[in-house]
């Protein structure tokens, strides 16, 4: 049952974020505590990010959800939330490659922590702003049915392969990172976006949002 307002893909993506969060937190702990005792874990984490996070989860956003928002809700693709999120997807690809090639020890920890910070903030933007707002707007536009993709055998195998690592290296967040909801916690606010919500809210709605935040 879809517990989130909007087409089924909204709830599916939010549920998938929980899986990604677990792996990201596990990678963070492994980079701090487990590199010496579990060096083979690196390849398993990398495979998850490439096959499952990028090839499966991000694929649904970039080929199903985002095009629907551009075509139906008229959200711009060259600025604002879609551009920011796709840019972050690409940065993730770059960091995963760096993680693969980083020397053990501190170099690996530095890259793993940057990747974790990127994905934690990325998920916060999507869960607190983009996906709820997308669900609302798609429903208003008459799009009640928009399905995500089903895992194939490769995606299932990769997800199941990383689960023992998440159990062994239990997810660890970073106390130095502030995580929050909404535009004010978004790295794009006031720079390339000016507010994710502002791209698709009218002036009155935006003023109401700012008043609520205060």
Q: Are 49 and 92 in contact (CB under 8 A)?
A: yes
Asked if residue 2 belongs to a domain, the reply is no
16, 19, 59, 60, 153 from 150: Cα distances, Å: 12, 15, 12, 10, 10
Asked if residue 3 belongs to a domain, the reply is no
pLDDT digits (tens, 9 = 90+) for 81-92: 888 899 999 999
pTM of the full predicted structure? 0.85
- pLDDT value, residue 76: 80
State how many domains the chain has. 1
- pLDDT value, residue 78: 84
Neighbours of 115 (CB within 10 A): 23
Range of the domain at 119: 8-213
Asked if residue 1 belongs to a domain, the reply is no
- pLDDT value, residue 197: 53
Asked if residue 204 belongs to a domain, the reply is yes
- pLDDT value, residue 80: 75
The CATH number of the domain holding residue 135 is 1.20.120
**In the chain, which residues have pLDDT < 70?**
1-4, 180-214
pLDDT digits (tens, 9 = 90+) for 157-208: 999 999 999 999 999 999 888 776 655 555 545 544 545 555 555 555 545 5
């Amino acid at each position: 049952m879809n517990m989130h307002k909007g087409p089924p893909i909204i709830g599916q993506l939010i549920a998938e974020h929980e899986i990604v969060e677990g792996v990201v937190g596990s990678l963070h702990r492994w980079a701090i505590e487990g590199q010496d005792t579990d060096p083979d874990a690196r390849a398993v984490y990398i495979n998850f990010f490439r096959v499952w996070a990028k090839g499966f989860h991000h694929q649904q956003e970039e080929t199903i959800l985002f095009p629907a928002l551009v075509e139906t809700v008229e959200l711009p693709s060259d600025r604002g939330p879609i551009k920011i999120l796709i840019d972050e997807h690409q940065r993730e690809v770059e960091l995963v490659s760096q993680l693969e090639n980083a020397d053990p020890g501190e170099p690996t920890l530095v890259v793993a922590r940057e990747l974790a910070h990127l994905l934690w903030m990325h998920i916060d933007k999507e869960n607190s702003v983009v996906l709820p707002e997308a669900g609302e707007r798609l429903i208003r536009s008459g799009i009640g049915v928009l399905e995500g993709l089903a895992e194939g055998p490769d995606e299932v195998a990769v997800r199941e392969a990383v689960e023992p690592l998440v159990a062994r290296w239990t997810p660890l967040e970073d106390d130095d990172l502030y995580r929050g909801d909404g535009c004010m916690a978004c790295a794009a606010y006031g720079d390339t976006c000016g507010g994710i919500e502002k791209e698709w809210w009218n002036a009155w709605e935006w003023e109401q949002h700012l008043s609520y935040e205060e």
